[in-house]
Structure 1
């Protein structure tokens, strides 16, 4: 199976990404993302999609009426994003990686999928997922910060971050505004991310398991409790840190409802 992925990605990338889009649509990924974010985004809101990959989150954000800055450093993927959203003036594709400083960096890529990371420890298998993949390609990519994007495009109400273990670096690059942050949980670095956000005044966190269209519980919890929830699950998950600033979050938060963790998992 990896050989088939590798062949399609390296020989026919347009077909590969087209098939991935169809596959994700068939399993309802975009619909689930749209459902998840419909309470967090209002028409006209600005959203940053950091680590946009094939654009499934960007498409879901557009379904919610958001203006989207879609950030992706891999050339094949940025080419795909520009084809996919080329007719949509509300999507801007930015070809860069993000970190806590500007410059240039080595991006480690796989030959059998569209994953990439700035974290060399992920590639060597020292930490994190991905040992089953072949991290045998590197490219030099520009580095920018979230602050630079804010200065250019304005403050977003939501930032989605999926950067294969470099989440803390991305978060450190944002210092003047506090949007809601939705980030993939990488267990080797999530404690650092939660500490950074707690230090910056974030107090309300929610957890999503797998690609479910709702949160494990709709009751926001502090960073310490979120750490315990993550430790208690073996499922891939994502975390939402709600903006502590009323001007940014407003009513853009999931409505709390009676229920428990077990209730949400049984949906």
Structure 2
């Protein structure tokens, strides 16, 4: 009943053009009442176990509305967030004002400059990657990307130069992961990046090879939003890359996150 009501209110706000304002109010009410969903509690436990202690600096590349940012804020001394969607930036600035989170309205790319950003009708599918759009369309998704905008970009190397080396860096950029990691030429803390299969097999294998070349030696992954590691023990680059070759990949069409340290 409550879930249906929330969906109905969200749809009404979206139809009236007040989606951002609705989400800002919703997050403020939840914060005031100290409410956390089961999903948020699950995410918090996963990262608390993964980090095994408070971190000094976290990069959140592609924060969306800040579900994981909120967890990072509670587990880190400082969180640097990159989000190119201006509507979502307004939500993030409202959610994390007067906190340890710094929101930057840029995208992460191989270098500084400008890129064309494709705004989806659902904020979960906005992207800089035309390959991602083609993948979604070919898979039967009904989403539309009618609006485009020019956005500023910054590389991971440049972020490190400004803020220091992060203990953890989360990358979730809807098919633009290869471009983001192209802008990293040094080993930082633990990294996670999203994969989409089978459409982005070559990009995923490139990202794994890139991280290995930077000195990352231990890998693991979780499917979808399970937040459950596939391997009970972290594995080598050779082992993780072997399973992510499509001929060996046993999970069919799916997405998830790969972790490297």
Give the structure-2-normalised TM-score: 0.81
Corresponding residue SS for 2:68: helix
5 Å matches for 1:1-267? Answer: 5=11, 8=14, 11-18=17-24, 27-41=37-51, 42-88=53-99, 90-125=100-135, 131-187=141-197, 188=200, 189-230=203-244, 231-234=249-252, 235-242=254-261
Alignment partner of 2:94: what SS?
helix
Cα contact 1:54–1:77 (8 A) shared by 2 = yes
CA-CA distance at 1:113 after TM superposition: 3.1
Count of matched residue positions in the alignment of Structure 1 and Structure 2: 238
Distance in 1, matches of 2:235 and 2:20, equals 42
Per-residue CA deviations over 1:187-241 (Å, capped at 9, x if unaligned) read 3121111121122222211111222243122311123322444522244311101
Q: Which has the higher contact order (CA 8 A, sep 6+)?
A: 1
Give the CA deviation at 1:44: 4.5
Q: Which runs of no fewer than 5 residues in structure 2 stay unpaired? A: 1-6
Higher helix share: 2
Deviates more, 1:103-112 or 1:117-126: 117-126
- Secondary structure at the counterpart of residue 211 of structure 1: coil
| TM-fit CA distance, 1:52 | 0.5
Cα distance change, pair 37–15 in 1 and its aligned pair in 2 (3 A): same
Give a deviation string over 1:39-68, Cα, whole Å, max 9, x none: 343324200000000011111112224420
> What are the ranges of 5 or more consecutive residues in structure 1 without an aligned counterpart?
243-267
Separation in 1, partners of 2:49, 2:164: 21
Q: CA RMSD in A?
A: 2.7
In structure 2, the CA distance between the partners of 1:65 and 1:98, relative to structure 1 (3 Å rule), is closer
How far the C-alpha of 1:20 sits from its partner, in A, is 8.1
Structure 1 pair 178–113 and aligned structure 2 pair: CA distance change class (3 A): closer
Offset of 1:141 from its aligned partner?
A: 0.3
Give, in whole Å, the separation in 1 of the partners of 2:41 and 2:193: 19
- Assess if the C-alpha contact under 8 Å between 1:46 and 1:157 holds in 2: yes
**What is the rounded CA distance, in whole Å, between the counterparts of 2:163 and 2:103 in structure 1?**
12
CA deviation digits over 1:157-214, x for unaligned, max 9? 1100000111111111111332211111123121111121122222211111222243
Contact persistence 2:218–2:260 (CA under 8 A): yes
In structure 2, the residue matched to 1:265 is none
Q: Is the 8 A contact 2:60 2:79 kept in 1?
A: yes
